[in-house]
Amino acid sequence: MSTVEGVTGVDVDDLYSRSASRMLSTAWMLLGSRHAAEDAVQEAFAKLAARDTSAVREPEAYLRTVVVNECRSVMRRRRHQAGDPVTDGIHLDRSDLEMREALARLSPRRRTVVVLRFYEDMKVDDIAEVLGCRPGTVSSLLHRALKDLREVVGDDDA
């Protein structure tokens, strides 16, 4: 049987097939680097495989939490280091480049809530659950983040 599972519970192999690319793109947005994103997602899957996940009912959501927390850990470690996003050899049009720059200029927490709210389409309460804070804090971060984004991408798009 080729399926790889965690200690118990989630079918990690299947989850990887379904979710890896999406998780990588989310981590890429948060970390600004393909290499860092791949490391974070790999670490998240490794942690997932080592855990008892028998009580997990929504594997994708659980995985997303693990990935986001891994990314936050990376961002905390490198806070105050130069934050220029890495090109990573992909072609981005002007709009995407602008969005990449705008995300890079946000503080890690604000970037996280923006990506989770508007890319992962998560509800404020769910974001608060992931970040371990109150919904009001998420709303406050979102408000500030959108204000920051308007300075970069213009008033029309944020």
Partner 1 sequence: MTTPDPRQERLRARLASYGAVLEEAAAAPAAKRRRHLIAVDGPVGGDRARRRPPWRGPVGRVAAVVVVLAAVAGTTWAATRPTQTSMTSAGQVWADDDIVRPEDRPAALAALEGTWPLPPNGSLDFILDIPTDASISFAGFRSMVAYNASCLWFRHAVEERDLTTDEREIVAAMPTWPGHDGSAHPRAVRSFQEVVDATLAGDLDRVREHIAISCDGSSEGLGLPELDGRWLVAGGPSSSQGASVDPAGSATAVDPARVRGWAAVVDRLGPEVQVDGAVALPDGAYNVSLRVSAMAFSLTIGAVGAPVTLPVTQAELDRGSEMRDGGIQVFAGPVGDDATLAQAVGPDGDSIALSFGSPPDEVERAVGDLADLAADLHAAAWPR
Q: Which x/- pattern, by CB under 8 A, does the window 91-130 give for partner 1? A: xx--xx--xx------x-xx---xx--xx-x---------
**Contact between residue 60 and residue 48 where contact means Cβ atoms under 8 Å apart:** no
Angle (CA) 120-3-70 rounded to 5° is 35
For the CB of residue 109, give the shortest distance to partner 1 in the complex, in Å: 5
Q: In the complex with partner 1, which residue's Cβ is closer, 49 or 61?
A: 49
For the CB of residue 19, give the shortest distance to partner 1 in the complex, in Å: 10
Q: Which x/- pattern, by CB under 8 A, does the window 5-34 give for partner 1? A: -------xx--x---xxx-xxx-xx----x
- List the interface residues with partner 1, window 33-92 (CB under 8 A): 34, 37-38, 41-43, 45-47, 49-50, 76-81, 88, 90-92
**Contact between residue 119 and residue 29 where contact means Cβ atoms under 8 Å apart:** yes
**Contact between residue 130 and residue 65 where contact means Cβ atoms under 8 Å apart:** yes
Q: How far apart are CA 61 and CA 101, in angstroms?
A: 27
For the CB of residue 96, give the shortest distance to partner 1 in the complex, in Å: 5
Which listed residue (61, 86, 104, 133) binds partner 1 by CB under 8 A?
133
Catalog residues that contact partner 1 under the rule CB under 8 A. Answer: 4, 12-13, 16, 20-22, 24-26, 28-29, 34, 37-38, 41-43, 45-47, 49-50, 76-81, 88, 90-92, 95-96, 99-100, 107, 109-110, 114-115, 118-119, 121, 132-134, 136-137, 140-141, 144, 146, 148-149, 153, 155-158
